[in-house]
Structure 1
Amino acid sequence: QVQQKDKSDEEVAHAINQKLGDTPGISYSEIAARAYDCGRTELAIKLLEYEPRSGEQVPLLLKMKRSKLALSKAIESGDTDLVYTVVLHLKNELNRGAFFMTLQNQPVALSLYRQFCKHQERETLKDLYNQDDNHQELGNFHVHASYAEKRIEGRVAALQSAQDAYSKAKKSFAAKATEEQVKLLRLQRHLQEDLDKPYVDLSLHDTVSTLILDGHHKRAEQLYRDFKIPDKRYWWLKLSALATRGDWEEMEKFSKSKKSPIGYLPFVEISVKHHNRYEAKKYAARVAPEQRVKALLLVGCVGQ
């Protein structure tokens, strides 16, 4: 029947199905393969409609160069491995543009391929995001890529690409945060060169803290201004670093530089914490009235 030429492919496939039905041991994929070998490709495709096993349908469809149909059948089957097989076959068969366009029309396959790329082919992932105009994911891709860069220049370049992508995605917070990270990296590189100490990859907080701990107060002050660190945060940070360093003279100078945005009780508390009641007493009198009793208790001057 496969070789009958006078009937349409549909009629022949239907006749074969009527005759064989769901007879155990009958493989429609084998009959379809025979039809294909006889040059009856369309008949083979019709016969495959009666093949219940996707694992049998799909390889023959690929052999017949019906890759898009194979992809649809693989997706219908819910078999992830089968979908991967077809996607990778398509990748080798089609040019890049046609391959991406095919995936665009099959969200399930596209999603699985992205997962594959995340683990196997990260550069292809970038092309996929570009094809989609998915600027936010492209930005995330560049940020991720920046961590793999050993050289500062490479990392900065990747982060600048991320910033550009976030701007296109109108993600202003992410774009600004990336811009700040580039600024910090460049500054850390200069600090590293000037001070011969590792600064790259420290957070902004730790960079400032390390500078204060090493006595580089002017440089720390510059970062405070350049990165617009909130006053309260900077005062807490500097106070903590000066106490750790045991630089009581600098702490007193700092306390008088302007009115403390965090008050003076923290000066008392941190001096006591570092076992220096003598210094703590200097600040107790400057504590706000509603907190003064607590300050005096801390320094052991309750009678005053």
Structure 2
Amino acid sequence: MNDQAAEQATDQAIEQAADVATETFVAHRNLLFTVAYEMLGSAADAEDVLQETWLRWIRTDLQEVRDQRAYLVRITTRQALNRLRTMTRRKESYVGPWLPEPLLTAPDVAEDAELAESVSMALMLVLETLSPTERAVFVLREVFDVGYEEIAAAVDKSPAAVRQIAHRARRHVDARRPRETVSASRTRAALESFQRALETGDLQGLLDVLAPEVVLLTDGGGVIRAAVRPVSGADKVSRFILGGIVKHRNLVTADPTVANGHPALFVRVNGEIDGIITARVDAGHITGLYYVRNPEKLTRIASQTPLTLR
């Protein structure tokens, strides 16, 4: 074989390897995005992590990789951990409450109880209280059922240390996560009552659907008007909503949608997008309201985002 033929053969081999790498990455892309999103709570940052994962993956010698899916998850986890540590510092200067970026999700996400619970706003807010390493270990172990040895390789810890971290993180989350699993129909019914009261400015209607201990978190990111601290109690929450959203506005509409695998409301004021409201419901009443108004977190609400645990 002459030099030219050898060079052509090498180029073909490189192209074939690149094709295989691309096919594998595309096949697992939704899984990798879900891993990154659950670790970060930000779709924009998750997309950046996937780009970084791809750049490392394309330079990997696939002949040295025994389990390509596990290897991709490992790369994604490491990149997400690096980004999560940066985000932790960024959140310290964030104006007001920081809420995860809401994602419009397809019906199959809502039908998968395990997946829907893992990306719910309520649980993701609990994950915000974990350290970066604890969050990574919890997500990989409890959500994606990754083995301890694989997690250890991803977070640069020993399997024994990972077991301890997983136990500590699980205990922390269990103490704070919603104790009752509420059906989508009950959540939808509570949100329908909230929607009617919101659109008509009905104070009593809001008081009837809100639990006395309800807490409202509004995320404006310092860009859009929002409460800089949590608003607690049915009366204060109702008056804040009617005074801040409805008052002095010509038209408020709240269209039902599905965000993060659960019923939600897509709010428009005078026809313009204002934000997405998700809720935590207990015993038929709303105990938590999460209102994302920050425009930077509303960039992916025009279409559904595919998520998967597999």
Give the TM-score range, shorter chain: under 0.3
Over alpha carbons, which structure has the higher Rg?
Answer: 1
Higher helix share: 1
The TM-score, its normalising length taken from structure 1, stands at 0.28
More strand by share: 2
